[in-house]
Amino acid sequence: MLPPTIAWVDGRIELLDQTALPRVTTTSVATVDQLVDAIRRLVVRGAPALGAAGALGVALAARTVAAEELAAEAARIAAARPTAVNLEVGVRRALAAADDGPQAVLAAALVLMAEDVDSCRAVGDRGAALLRELCGPAPLRLHTHCNAGAAACVGIGTALGVVRALHEVGGVRYVVADETRPLLQGARITAVELGAMGVEHRLVVDGAGPSIIARGLVDAVVVGADRIAANGDVANKIGTYPLALAAARAGIPFLVAAPETTVDPATPDGAAIEIEERDPGEVLGTTAPHGSAAWNPAFDVTPADLVTAIVTDARTWRP
Model pTM? 0.95
Q: How many residues does the chain have?
A: 319
**155 — pLDDT class (breaks 50, 70, 90):** very high
DSSP 190: I
pLDDT of 1 higher than 80: no
DSSP 18: T
Select from 164, 291, 161, 307 the least CA-distant residue to 228.
307
Paired residues of 309 in beta bridges: 255
What's the CA gap between 129 and 127, in Å, rounded? 5
User: What domains are defined for the chain?
Assistant: 6-115 (1.20.120.420), 125-317 (3.40.50.10470)
What's the CA gap between 138 and 257, in Å, rounded? 21
pLDDT of residue 218: 98
**27 — pLDDT class (breaks 50, 70, 90):** very high
226 noted as active-site residue: yes
Q: Which amino acid is at 113?
A: M
What's the CA gap between 226 and 47, in Å, rounded? 5
pLDDT of 97 higher than 90: yes
Model confidence pLDDT, tens digit, residues 175-227: 999 999 999 999 999 999 999 999 999 999 999 999 999 999 999 999 999 99
H helices, E strands: number in the chain: 11, 14
**109 — pLDDT class (breaks 50, 70, 90):** very high
**118 — pLDDT class (breaks 50, 70, 90):** very high
Among 226, 233, 264, 313, the one annotated catalytic: 226
Calculate the average pLDDT of the chain.
97
pLDDT of residue 149: 97
User: Mean pLDDT, to the nearest integer, of 150-174?
Assistant: 97
Model confidence pLDDT, tens digit, residues 252-293: 999 999 999 999 999 999 999 999 999 999 999 989 999 999
What's the CA gap between 33 and 29, in Å, rounded? 9
User: Mean pLDDT, to the nearest integer, of 72-85?
Assistant: 96
